[in-house]
Chains A and B, each alone.
Chain A
Amino acid sequence: MKKLWLLLALIIIVASQIAVLSSFHSLSSNTWVDGSTTVVISKAAFAHLRVEIDIMPEIHNGQSNTTLIFPNGTYTKIPAVTHYKFSVILPSTGPLPGSVAIQTEGINISDNHPIDVETLSNSTIFQNQYSSIDWKAPPYSTISVYWFTVQGNAMVNIQGYGARF
């Protein structure tokens, strides 16, 4: 009888672990960018997201012509190195009642797909949309978005790890 209880306890533990594991999400993208490319990172408010970005700029005669432009207009010239790496962390802002479903230019978030990264070669539509949206009002208040633009030629490798808590 003791063994039966032990087995039952183990089965409950395994079931809980499977539920916890199903709350983890990962994404990966490896894109060659040229000209001006915008990388849009988005997530549902209830999710925690960590994105590792690895930019490999095209190097000509020991020089790189790749620039990273941030939303506030500041920019940084990527040095002529093999890998230029940085991380973006969008922490969870806590659970929210109701479901999340937003599908628009550069953003694709739902309850089953709470983290998203997209690279847009033509970012005009996204940037116009981004500046016109009221991010404090629903439904956009249920997501977080971060973006940056890569100007020049480079290979952009993105690894994202998210959890629904």
Chain B
Amino acid sequence: MTEENLSSKMTEFMTALDQVKAYRELVSAMADFVIIIVASVAALLTANIVVNLLDVFYGYGFVTPGNSGSLPFFNFLILFFGVIIGVLWVRQKLSSVRIGEWKNILNEGTPGAIKLLQETNWEKIFSDIRSAKLGFALYGAVKILAYWLVATFLFIVLSSFMGNTIHLSFDPISLTVIPLILVLILSVKDLRYRYEQVGRLDSLLWELRWFDNEFRRADFQA
């Protein structure tokens, strides 16, 4: 293997590892995302309890037919901002992952590449890829669930508006199933991307095993 070959293969390898590192971060960011969404639901329920208490003990009349759209609208807003904060938090976490730190070492040529390989913990990398695969797929599912929740509340607001204006009402099943179908249709691209990416991570795992093997047996030429 020539130095040029080694350098190009190492660049390819380290770039793939950077991607795995980012996806690995997704596992921890996904936990934060779920916490943010559940906290939004808790905030929404707190608001609903306060509104009901005000209605029962002070007669504010928030939950009246004339106001039927206002409470679901505030619920929708709370959830909407919860999901936005969650998604931004995940993106910020992903962008804070340090990538490309190996470039300076690789610029040293063969000694740099060998140093990088020696420092590589293969078992950890293989385990990281497995976690990344799981995190990447789960984050997609959790994100769709969160979007579904937001879409359901938006649909409730719209249906109460339609009920008040054109007297069109939806049964509870339609209120949950229609938003789910819409969210799935809108997420088809993301689902396909995740499916392909999980497949790529699988291939990467096998390629790296081969890569590991090849480099262990390689005969370096200056």
In the bound complex, do residue B59 and residue A87 qualify as a contact, i.e. CB atoms below 8 Å apart? Answer: yes
Q: Are B56 and A161 within 8 A (Cβ)? A: yes
Residue in A13, A26, A48, A161 whose beta carbon sits within 8 Å of that of B42 in the complex: A13
Closest chain B residue, CB of each to CB of A163: B56
Instruction: Name the one of B31, B56, B64 contacting A3, with C-beta atoms under 8 angstroms.
Output: B31
Binary B-proximity of A4-15 (CB < 8 A = 1, otherwise 0):
101100110110
Once bound together, how far apart are the Cα atoms of A159 and B67, in whole Å?
12
Give residues 34-76 of B contacting A (CB, 8 Å). Answer: 34-35, 38-39, 41-42, 45-46, 48-49, 52-53, 55-57, 59, 61, 63-65
Tell me whether B32 is interfacial, beta carbon within 8 Å.
yes
Q: In the complex the two chains form, is A21's CB within 8 Å of B52's CB? A: yes
Q: How far is the CB of B153 from chain A (nearest CB, A)?
A: 15
> Would B64 and A7 count as touching, CB distance under 8 A?
no
Residues from chain B with a CB closer than 8 A to the CB of A3 are 28, 31-32, 35
> How many A residues touch the partner, as a band?
20 to 34
- Contact of A10 with B48 in the complex, beta carbons under 8 Å: no
Known contacts A3-B31, A24-B52: does B38 contact A17 (CB below 8 Å)? Answer: no
Is the CB of A83 closer than 8 A to any CB of chain B? no
Option from A18, A28, A48, A50 in Cβ contact (under 8 Å) with B59: A50
On chain A, the residues within 8 Å of B28 by CB distance are 3
| 13 further contact pairs, Cβ within 8 A, besides A21-B49, A50-B56 | A3-B35, A7-B34, A10-B35, A10-B39, A14-B41, A14-B42, A17-B42, A20-B49, A21-B45, A24-B55, A48-B56, A161-B56, A161-B59
